[in-house]
Structure 1
Amino acid sequence: MSQPTLHDLHRPLGSTGLLVSPLGLGTVKLGRDQGVKYPNGFQIPDDRQARQLLQLTRDLGINLIDTAPAYGRSEERLGPLLRGQRQEWVIVSKVGEEFEAGQSRHDFSAAHTRFSVERSLQRLETDFIDLVLVHSDGNDLAILEHSDVYQTLEALKREGKIRAFGFSGKTVEGGLKALEQGDCAMITYNLNEQGEKPVIDYAARHGKAILVKKALASGHACLAPGIDPVRASFELLFAQPGVASAIVGTINPLHLAHNVATVAGVIRQN
C-alpha cells in the first residue's frame, strides 16, 4: 500500500490567505536539547539527517514549519537547509522568548520585538515570515494589555515583513483576547488537556486561525489497551472546525509518516 500524503488536504489558515497542511513540523529538536520536556532523550540531527527529514516532510505533503528564537539553533539551521525552497513552505516563528545558557527569559518590548523579527528574517534567509506568534510566559493578558508586542507585530505586518501574527499562550482569556486583535492563536489541546476549547470555538465563529501545540501531549498520551493514542488524538482535534493544523515535533521519519497517514485517514473519514 502506498504511503498516504497530505498534498490534497491543505486548508485555509483562518483568514490569512495562507493554505497549510493539517500537520506542521515543529523544529525544537533541530536546535535545542536542553530544558525540553520530552519523555525520551534524543540527539540533535546533523545536517544530512535534518535535510532528509525536511525532504520527507515535503514529500509527505507538509508545508508548515514551526520554529522560534527560543529553539536554540533551529532558525539559523533552517535558513541554509531550506535555501531555494522558500515558496514551498509556510514558516511560523515567534517573538518574546530567548533561550540562552540553559535559561529562558522573556522580553515583549517594541524594540526587542522588532529586533527579534529582523534577526529571524536574517537567520531564515527570507524577506518575510508567514506567521509570527508571541511566545507567552503564561501572563497572557498582561502581555497583550501592557506591552507593545502586538502593536509592533501589526506594524511589521503593514511593512510586509510578516504576513500574519498571533499568540502562543496558556490561558483561555489570553487566547480570546489574542484572536480579537490578531490572526492566529496557538493553543494546547489534546486527550489530557481540553481547557482551551472556547478559543477554538471563537476562532471557528470569527474566521480566525488555530494551530495546536502538544497535540500528542508531547508523547505522553496513554489510553485503554488496543486504542491507538495518535489516532484518538487526531480524531479529537480534527472534529473541531476551528483547528487549521497541529504542530508535531518529531525527528523520527517513521513517526512522521505514521502521523501523516493517521491524519489523512481521520480527515478523509470526517
Structure 2
Amino acid sequence: MKKRALGNTGIQVSEVAFGGVEIGMPYGIGVNGKEDMLSTEEAIDLLHEAADKGINFFDTARLYGESEAIMGQAFYDRRDKIVLATKCKHFKNADGSLPGYQTLKDIIESSLHESLGFLKTDYVDVFMLHQADLAILDNDDVRKVFAGLKRSGKIRVTGASTYTATETARAIDKGWDVIQLAFNLMDQQQAANFKHAQEQGTGIVVRSVLLKGLLSDKGRNLHPALSNVERHINEYRELLSDDIAGISTLATKFALSFNEVSSVLVGIDRSEYLDAAIRSVSGRLLNEAELSKAKQLVYPDPAFLDLPGWDRQGWLK
C-alpha cells in the first residue's frame, strides 16, 4: 500500500483510508439493522487485517455508534502505527445558531475527551468538524478552541468535513489543516478547490468515492426513479480494461489520479471489500486520456445526486 503526504501536516497516510461508519452503526445500501453488521469481534479482526495489509489511516466519528470503541479495542496496543481521524459531535443550538465561546469550548472538549476514552489513546491525529457549514467555518471561537487543542498535544492537526465546494474553499482559506470532502466520478464539483488546497498545504481526503456503493456492482437494478443514474453509471464501462477491471476500481483510481488527493476513504465492513479496495489502488492510475474521458463523463445534474433524499424516498432499498 503506497502512502502519500497529508498536505503539509508531516503525516503520511495510506492511499486507502478505512471508513469506520459501517462497523459502528447500520449504514449503506442493504444494511437495515445490527443483524446486517459485523459483530465486535469480527470488526476488530477486520481492522487488524486492514492494518496488516498496509492501511494505516482509519476514520471514525463520535456520531458513528460503536465505531470509536471498536477501533480503540483494535488499536490500543499498536497506536504508533495507526493514523486516527475522528470528528467532533455537533454543537449547534436547536434553532441552528452557534452557542457562545464557553459553551462551544465545553462541547468540543467534551466530545474529544469522550473520543479519547473510547479510542484508548491520549491523542488523535486528525480531529475534525463534522458537517462544517459556512457559519461554523466563519466562527472565530470554533477555530480558537481547535487551535488550543492542537497546542495542547491532544490533537496533531485540525480538520473539517465539508459538503459543498463553497464550504471547502472557505475551510482552506480559514487554515484548517485537512479537509474531508465528497468527490467521485459522477460529482466532480470539489475538484475546483484542489489546486488551492495544494497551494495552501491542505490535506485532501476524499469520501463518497463509490457514491454509497452505487459506483460498484451495487449500481444495477436500481429503483425506476434512478434509471437515468443507472444508465449513466453504465457509460463508465467504456473505460474498463484489463488494468481497470470494474467500476469501483475505476472510481477509486480516478480520485487518486489527482495528485492533490492524499487518501481515498472507503467504507469497509467485509474482508472482500477490503481486498477489493486494496486491489483498486494497485498498479497504475488513469492515464491522461482516461482521466480526460472520465472528467467528461461527469453526471450532468449533480444536484440530483442527493443520496439521503433518495433514501427517504425509499429508492435505495
Coarse TM-score class (shorter-chain normalised): 0.7 to 0.9
Structure with greater strand share of residues: 1
Q: Secondary structure at the match of 2:126?
A: strand
Letter of the 1:219 partner, please give it: G
Task: Choose from 223, 243, 248 the match for 2:234.
Answer: 223
Task: Choose from 86, 111, 127 the match for 2:122.
Answer: 127
Q: Which residue of 2 aligns with 1:188?
A: 182
Task: Choose from 150, 161, 174 the match for 2:143.
Answer: 150
Q: Deviations over 1:122-175 (max 9, x none)?
A: 1111111000110016xx111111363222111100000000011101112211
> Does 1:176 pair with 2:169?
yes
1:215–1:246: 8 Å Cα contact kept in structure 2?
yes
Task: State the Cα distance separating 1:115 from its structure 2 match.
Answer: 0.9
Q: Secondary structure at the match of 1:150?
A: helix
User: Structure 2: any 5+ residue segments left out of the alignment?
Assistant: 216-232, 241-245, 289-317
Alignment of 1:228-267 (within 5 A): 228-267=246-285
Task: State the Cα distance separating 1:267 from its structure 2 match.
Answer: 4.5
1:95–1:116: 8 Å Cα contact kept in structure 2?
yes
Task: Choose from 16, 35, 39 the match for 2:29.
Answer: 39
**d(CA) in 2 for partners of 1:252, 1:80:** 18
**d(CA) in 2 for partners of 1:39, 1:153:** 34
Task: State the Cα distance separating 1:239 from its structure 2 match.
Answer: 1.7
**d(CA) in 2 for partners of 1:45, 1:54:** 12
Task: State the Cα distance separating 1:257 from its structure 2 match.
Answer: 0.7
Distance change in 2, residues 1:47/1:177 (3 Å): same
1:166–1:179: 8 Å Cα contact kept in structure 2?
no
Letter of the 2:267 partner, please give it: G
1:97–1:107: 8 Å Cα contact kept in structure 2?
no
Aligned residues: 252
Which region of structure 1 is more displaced relative to structure 2, 52-61 or 63-72? Answer: 52-61
Letter of the 1:77 partner, please give it: I
Q: Which residue of 2 aligns with 1:3?
A: none
> Does 1:78 pair with 2:71?
yes
1:167–1:184: 8 Å Cα contact kept in structure 2?
yes
Distance change in 2, residues 1:214/1:202 (3 Å): same
2:4–2:262: 8 Å Cα contact kept in structure 1?
yes
Letter of the 1:234 partner, please give it: T
Task: State the Cα distance separating 1:17 from its structure 2 match.
Answer: 0.8
Superposition RMSD on alpha carbons, in Å? 2.2
1:80–1:125: 8 Å Cα contact kept in structure 2?
yes
Letter of the 1:47 partner, please give it: T
Task: Choose from 55, 58, 82 the match for 1:89.
Answer: 82
**d(CA) in 2 for partners of 1:218, 1:88:** 28
**d(CA) in 1 for partners of 2:142, 2:172:** 14
Q: Deviations over 1:10-49 (max 9, x none)?
A: 111111111100001011112111xx3x222262211221
Alignment of 1:7-26 (within 5 A): 9-26=2-19
Distance change in 2, residues 1:19/1:92 (3 Å): same
Q: Percent identity?
A: 28
Letter of the 1:206 partner, please give it: Q
**d(CA) in 2 for partners of 1:267, 1:61:** 18
**d(CA) in 2 for partners of 1:199, 1:51:** 36
Distance change in 2, residues 1:120/1:77 (3 Å): same
